[in-house]
Amino acid sequence: MKFKRLTAAVAALCIALPAATEALNATGTPAINSDNIVAGDVNVDYVFNLADIVLFQRWLKGDRDLFPAYGEPGPGADVNKDGKYDVFDLVAMRKLLVQCIKNAPEPSYAPQAQNLCAGIERSPGTSGIIMKEGYQNYKEFIDSQLGFTVGLLQNTYSENKGGNDLISPYSIAQALGMTANGAAGSTLEEMEKVLGGGMPIDSLNRYFRGQREMTVNESEDPKWSVNTANSIWTRDNRDRIQVLPGFIQNCVDYYDSECYTAPFDDTTLADVNNWVNCKTNEMIPTILSVIDPNDVMYLVNAVTFQAEWAEPYEKYMISDGKFTAADGTVQKAEMLSSTEDYVSDGNTEGIIKDYSGLRYAFAALLPDKDTSMHSYIESLTAEKLRELLSSRFGENYSQATAVLPKFSYEYENELSEELADMGMPTAFSDDADFSNMSAIAHLNPLSIGYVIHKTFIDLDENGTKAAAATLVAMQDKAMPMKPDKTVVFDRPFVYCIYDTETYVPLFIGVLNSLS
């Protein structure tokens, strides 16, 4: 890669190198010493990334107020160790960055776009919040996610005409969490309200990372797994978008995001779909059918869940049965019978069945016969859902014979209207503020164009497979500028074909007549 092109990509991509983890000083920050100086670390955050290159370039150009704590760049800026901070150190930083790119592993599906952040470790000090001490300690976040779940279900099902519905609030929240790191002003406030009940994005980042880390199976039980992947795809056109390094750094630090620059042509369409297909274990083969000309960035999440039942169904527990659909039609079904934990409230009966490892469970909730599904979902609240799921081991613990149908289906929805109705309309409007995402957002404003969500589930006697993919498409909605003047060549004129280096015409002429 030529250095000129590398410099042009500084605002759009980040590479993070692991920093040494040394003893902390009184403020919680590692004290600078000869052992923990990171080569290229200009702003003394104990990590080298593209933000350091940007700051160092500005400092070399005369912006001397960038480092108030030290008055000059940190000792890591002396990359070539000649005792001076100069342009030769900048060249050395670029070489260091190129070396990182060369050493970065390529994804298995070999996309045409280059992932410049593949395999690079996250910044130190960006830990996630692991929720292992119970509901009360993390009530604000847990309640916000339950509210987000119920709100999504209510909004996606409100237009449902009796068809199946399946969403992954976890997948949608991960994709929108990344997106919110690029928002500012009222756009960010609305997204924080919808995603976390008003929790600031810095806290949400840590919770989402902790939530994702909790899904990793660290036990010796191989019979369940949850895998999450995030990626960012940016149009390789600096006239339309210049992604800020800080935005990408947050997405790498808190969402383990892969970061691609791509031409947004047919190769990019194939790359995005192949990425989703790979990350969902081929359960969701495609997420995009066409690239909109206004699209300048995709923020994509993919999640898979595969688990066997803690107590699988034996052959004698499987029988033929009937299932009455919402439209009244009676359908043939294979029914699975077992004894499971029973839950209920005023208008619900349900069961909970554990998956292997007991880390995850399946809940089925059946409304009273006199309650329509639309009415039931409209009346559902985050508190009602939590109380139902947590009541399995309450004072009135009991079990029941559960008869479940085997089922498998796919679901797809575009969530712009639903998310706007939930309280974040500004992100989809011309008033959207994503100035923390692009360096030229003030000249070429960004907004969310659409949010595609696809899911898949397959439940049978052995267990459950499920997958989800969410794509947030950022658009610039760039409209050609209307010229101030109009020139109509409806009379004789002179024309020429000339050399743009010398301005010497190769051809010159006059058009006096068209016949």
| Structural domains present in the chain | 1-103 (no CATH), 136-306+408-475 (3.30.497.10), 315-407 (2.30.39.10)
109 pLDDT band, cuts 50/70/90, is low
The 114-115 sheet, strands edge to edge: 114-115, 258-262, 224-235, 295-308, 463-475, 447-459, 407-414
pLDDT tens-digit map of 279-316: 999 999 999 999 999 999 999 999 998 989 899 999 99
Tokens of 23: 């003893």
**How big, in percent rounded to 5, are the helix, strand and coil portions of the chain?**
30, 25, 45
Res 287: pLDDT: 96
Q: Kindly state the greatest CA–CA separation across the chain.
A: 98
CA quadruple 367, 370, 372, 377: dihedral positive or negative? negative
pLDDT of residue 384 exceeding 90:
no
* pLDDT at residue 450, as a whole number: 96
Select the more confidently predicted residue: 212 or 88.
212
Three-point CA angle 160, 163, 169, nearest 5° = 70
What sign does the dihedral 276-280-282-285 (CA atoms) show? negative
**pLDDT for position 107:** 43
pLDDT at 129 over 50: yes
Per-residue pLDDT for 498 more than 90? no
Dist CA 206 CA 128 (whole Å): 4
User: What is residue 137's predicted lDDT score, i.e. its pLDDT?
Assistant: 76
* pLDDT 10s digits, 11-38: 334 333 333 333 344 444 455 566 668 8
Element of type H or E holding 374: helix 373-379
pLDDT tops 80 at residue 494: no
- Identity of residue 34: S
Contact between 40 and 17 (Cβ < 8 Å):
yes
Q: Which two tokens stand for residue 420?
A: 């706007």
Question: For the segment 175-208, what is each residue's pLDDT rounded down to a tens digit?
Answer: 999 999 999 999 999 999 999 999 999 999 999 9
pLDDT value of residue 489:
55
- Condensed to tens digits (0 to 9), the pLDDT of residues 332-370 reads 888 898 988 888 888 888 888 888 988 888 888 888 888
The token pair at 151 is 């709100």
* Better-predicted residue by pLDDT, 459 or 125: 459
- pLDDT > 70 in the chain, percent: 78
Closest CA to 159 of 374, 449, 454, 384: 374
Q: Which amino acid is at 300?
A: V
- Express each pLDDT in 394-439 by its tens digit: 788 888 888 888 888 888 999 999 999 999 999 999 999 999 999 9
β-bridge pairing 258-262 and 224-235: parallel
User: Shortest CA distance to 285 belongs to which of 270, 272, 274?
Assistant: 274
Rounded to whole angstroms, the Cα distance separating 280 from 469 reads 8
- Residues in the chain, total: 515
Instruction: At 7, list the tokens.
Output: 């410099």
Tens of pLDDT along 458-469? 888 998 898 999
- What pLDDT does 432 receive? 95
**Residue 51 dihedral angles phi and psi, to the nearest 5°:** -60, -35
Between residues 18 and 135, which one has the greater pLDDT? 135
307 and 458 in contact (C-beta within 8 Å)? no
For residue range 240-285, list pLDDT tens digits in order: 999 898 898 899 999 999 989 999 999 999 999 999 999 999 999 9
- pLDDT bin (cut points 50, 70, 90) of residue 221 is confident
Average model confidence (pLDDT) for the chain? 80
pLDDT for 99 equals 55
pLDDT at 488: 59
Is residue 43 over pLDDT 60? yes
